[in-house]
Amino acid sequence: MIVAGLVISSLAQNDADGPANEKAQKTYKQGLEYLRQHMTSAALDSFKKADKQDDGHCVGCQKKMIKYGIELGEWKTAETAGEELVAEAQGAKDLALAHYTLGIVLRDEGLDKH
């Protein structure tokens, strides 16, 4: 569990993978501001919106959706972001990490739902 948490939080810390779309960038920054204000649910909604505005190509949004989706028990959001992360992965290392992250999401969901 500890290793899984470290992998997911290390994925979420890399903000260089933010959205390319200008409108999505504003929404993403709004999500970061919500996090600073400890409004995790609102931040998750902003990251989902930013990813949608960026046509599902915002890797940074997807990583944050996974992290906070797991934290809040928003399994559908975390699973969707994990699947998008796998689809966006380029190179063997990124693909392996994306599959591992999706596996963590699915495992945690299974544990939560018994």
* Percentage, residues of the chain above pLDDT 70: 86
The predicted pLDDT at position 12 comes to: 46
In the chain the domains, ranked by start, together with CATH numbers, are 22-113 (1.25.40)
How far are the Cα atoms of 24, 25, 54 from residue 58, in angstroms, in the given order? 9, 10, 6
> Rounded mean pLDDT of the chain?
88
Give the tens place of pLDDT for each residue, 41-94: 999 999 999 999 999 889 999 999 999 999 999 999 999 999 999 998 999 999
The predicted pLDDT at position 7 comes to: 54
